Structure 1
């Protein structure tokens, strides 16, 4: 799964990597959580790429109210083409979600219920400066979507991150992981003409050498905590060190 991640790369660098022209003002964020706004790369009908702000937690166009989005932060790859919540977006509204890395938790020894957070990042920043999660986005219109003082029919744009089976690296922590697309596949994922069977073929675990992981401070557990120190190595206490099989 993917329930927390980092978006801290400067927007100018993202524009260079992903090929969009607009440069919105984005603050670095070291602990992005569900229902918060995230940055995502989309493609318009003319083939131009854009960086959009989308709320994390997909709200289908047919939803009665937007609260459903909090339960749809992830979409399983094995049902994304058929499930009513995702199939329309899978056909027509796909996006790339840039991430410097993401967090996962593993049960630790010692005190019951204690979990050790890990930060998962590209193993080779020169080859892959940022990760690109496969995502879907939707536009929902309704009175509850309008911010205070805005028109009641203003659309609420939301997104979900597609997950797949964990690769060998991630399986040490969890049986699911976000789909990390190879840069060579970014164009095909965004292209509305890509055949569904070819899209589904992209939704597979990343090769094991692509990612590396390291334990970090439990300060990341709080969604209110921010700062670059969250991703710095912080080995767990010796008597509670988790076993990586």
Structure 2
């Protein structure tokens, strides 16, 4: 799954790749974690004929999807990942999959290979040839009883490809540039018509770089958390029973906190 990611590109680079209007510059972020604000790109209003104005708009949302029917977010599990295979079947995500499909620009993401009881090797997973990647996502606006609102979102995941499967069984859904339009166009493309886009990316698309456990702490946000280290194979030799981490896909465990 995807529990941490990074976005170090400039606003101009993101706008160019996604043909979107973002509006404000933002600093490089090396260790983005759930409950923090993240940038999502959604389809905007269709521009007038002949206009060169992009019809995609950037939104700042809280990373942690809250369905509209939830009464109290503090009593609801933190859902930062959403299983793409079952999203259309679940009441929590069905409306967003029909009406609020989004893209999350990223420079890469982090994953942990857990093969020892008390040890995990962290990896910085980035596009092999550099540049930006766009993760498939869903957005939902949650309204409280007093009328206040908060935009929330989650990243869609799929089964890991052959290259990343030894690290983790899940990975984010990557939408390729040629598919940005169909994915974001909820008016003309039903979920079943874009279901084929929610698949593992090609095995050679990403490279996984072993990094230190500095990334484990949300407070570590400097570029050095992405520096390559030597894997400690001896320390992760004993394989434990497979346990699902709190705050995992579709909301098992974890509590919400506002940003």
TM-score by length of 2: 0.84
Instruction: Indicate if the aligned counterparts of 2:105 and 2:135 stay in contact, CA closer than 8 A.
Output: yes
Which residue is equivalent to 1:14? 14
Which residue is equivalent to 1:78? 85
Higher RCO (C-alpha under 8 Å, 6+ residues apart): 2
Which residue is equivalent to 1:130? 132
Which residue is equivalent to 1:95? 102
Which residue is equivalent to 1:114? 119
Count of residue pairs the alignment pairs up: 230
- CA gap of 1:58–1:198, structure 2 versus 1, over 3 A, is same
User: Hey, what's the Cα distance between the residues in 2 that align with 1:17 and 1:170?
Assistant: 25
1:139 aligns with one of 135, 138, 141: 141
Which residue is equivalent to 1:240? 235
Instruction: Determine if the alignment matches structure 1 residue 67 to structure 2 residue 67.
Output: no
Instruction: Determine if the alignment matches structure 1 residue 181 to structure 2 residue 188.
Output: no
- CA gap of 1:60–1:68, structure 2 versus 1, over 3 A, is farther
Report the alpha carbon displacement of residue 28 of structure 1 after superposing the two structures with TM. 1.3
Which residue is equivalent to 1:34? 34
User: Hey, what's the Cα distance between the residues in 2 that align with 1:13 and 1:88?
Assistant: 31
Instruction: Indicate if the aligned counterparts of 2:70 and 2:76 stay in contact, CA closer than 8 A.
Output: no
User: Hey, what's the Cα distance between the residues in 2 that align with 1:234 and 1:108?
Assistant: 18
TM-score by length of 1: 0.88
Instruction: Indicate if the aligned counterparts of 1:96 and 1:135 stay in contact, CA closer than 8 A.
Output: yes
Report the alpha carbon displacement of residue 31 of structure 1 after superposing the two structures with TM. 0.6
Unaligned 5+ segments in structure 2 are: 48-54, 239-259
**How well do the aligned residues superpose, as a CA RMSD in angstroms?**
1.8
- CA gap of 1:81–1:99, structure 2 versus 1, over 3 A, is same
- CA gap of 1:41–1:242, structure 2 versus 1, over 3 A, is farther
1:230 aligns with one of 204, 214, 225: 225
Report the alpha carbon displacement of residue 46 of structure 1 after superposing the two structures with TM. 2.6
Unaligned 5+ segments in structure 1 are: 144-151
Instruction: Indicate if the aligned counterparts of 1:5 and 1:102 stay in contact, CA closer than 8 A.
Output: yes
